[in-house]
Amino acid sequence: MIQARRRVVITGLGLVSPIGIGREDVWRNALAGMSGAGPISGFDPSRLSTRIACEVVDFDPEQFMDRRATRRMDRFAQMAVAAARLGLDDAGLDPTKIPDAGVYVGSGIGGLSTFVEQTQVALERGPDRLSPLFIPMMIANMGAAQISMQLGLRGPVLSTVSACATSNHAIGEALDAIRLGRANVIIAGGAECAVVEIGIGAFNAMRALSTRNDAPTAASRPFDAGRDGFVMGEAGAVLVLEEWSHAIARGAHIYAELLGYGLTADAHHVTEPDPTGTAPAGAIRMALADADVDPEQVGYVNAHATSTPVGDPNEIRAILLALGEAHAKKCLVSSTKSMHGHCLGAAGGIEAALTALALNTGWIPPTINLDHLDPECVGVDHVANVARASQVEVAVSNAFGFGGHNAALVFGRVESP
């Protein structure tokens, strides 16, 4: 007998972001079109051509764990643990009562600040003075591992590393794990804190970042003809995914249903996307097929669009290919990176949460700073500068990473019991 596929819903949102900490703050600021960009405050950026970023300026890790624990974690892992606690609180789940819950949380880079600090120690004082915690603080799986250890979760734990597609891959793999019965609850998303001098400098060397230092809040401008690169952000962002009947049995609030997941590769270039858009379009089509959803049912796309000259038009081509040009004209599209910046491996986590909230509330967050639409980015209904009321039934959230990684998620609106 063929068993019905297990349904998966989102019952909690944990967000530590440049536009707020906690679901309520982040959603309020996203609808208001608030920018989280400003002059870099975490270090002296005077030697860099880019001196702006989207930092989480008011994050205190000791609100989420004891001081001893914070000293044994890189900032990215601290944000991962904080996001997980916020997500479980939002879901109304006690971690001590769900020891078999899973954690699928990735990071594109991992503990970059720890790597820089310890490299400096080795150069100045010698390798025998390195901290024994250097490796455990630096490696990218420690966001997921620290959530597991801090919360006592002994279910499946996995850390994805696929650049800016990391969170979407983590969420998609968690979806499949719950469908397969490996867990009833999985915390899924990403964490990233690469706003350090070498991080900004390295992306500057690639000419990927905006240098609009005199107007940071206007620097991230996806789809706009005047864009000159992305604004780097930092964040911890997770969804609490839960099997449908498990959520219903405890009377959980449901933000949305996670319907489908698709992933492909460009096989083209280490940083530039395939200009045809066929591979990301394939990821969207795969996710729609997995969700058993027709392209014409998609009402909103939270675009990966980072505010780069090459990437934004390529994504529009992918959307047109995946949804069809006729329907794409009616499909609402926005890039919330215009507000929270590009949080690399954590970006998909924030954007998935905002997509779920759009379905849940009937409000679509805008692309701010979209003043002059690039002619290469036409063909969809851009939600420019101001949030728009629209009750959407199905939405897609895209994430594309260096190396040609493409991952798309499909969400459906649910009337919460």
**Active site amino acids:** 164, 304, 342
Q: What are phi and psi of 328, to 5 degrees?
A: -55, -30
Q: What is the 3-class SS of 177-212, one letter each residue?
A: HHHCCCCCEEEEEEEECCCCHHHHHHHHHCCCECCC
Judge contact between 82 and 64, C-beta under 8 A: yes
- Listing DSSP states for 338-387 in one string gives HHH-B-GGGHHHHHHHHHHHHHHHTEE--BTT--SB-GGG-SSEE-BSS-
Measured CA to CA, the distance from residue 371 to residue 168 in angstroms comes to 29
Task: Name the pairing type of β-strands 381-382 and 363-364.
Answer: unpaired
* Nearest one of 34, 374, 70, 52 to 224, comparing CA atoms: 374
| 3 DSSP 8-state letter | P
Helix ranges, 211-302 (H): 244-249, 278-291
Per the CB < 8 A criterion, the answer to whether 193 and 76 are in contact is: yes
For the packed helices 278-291 and 311-323, what is the interaxial angle rounded to 10 degrees? 40
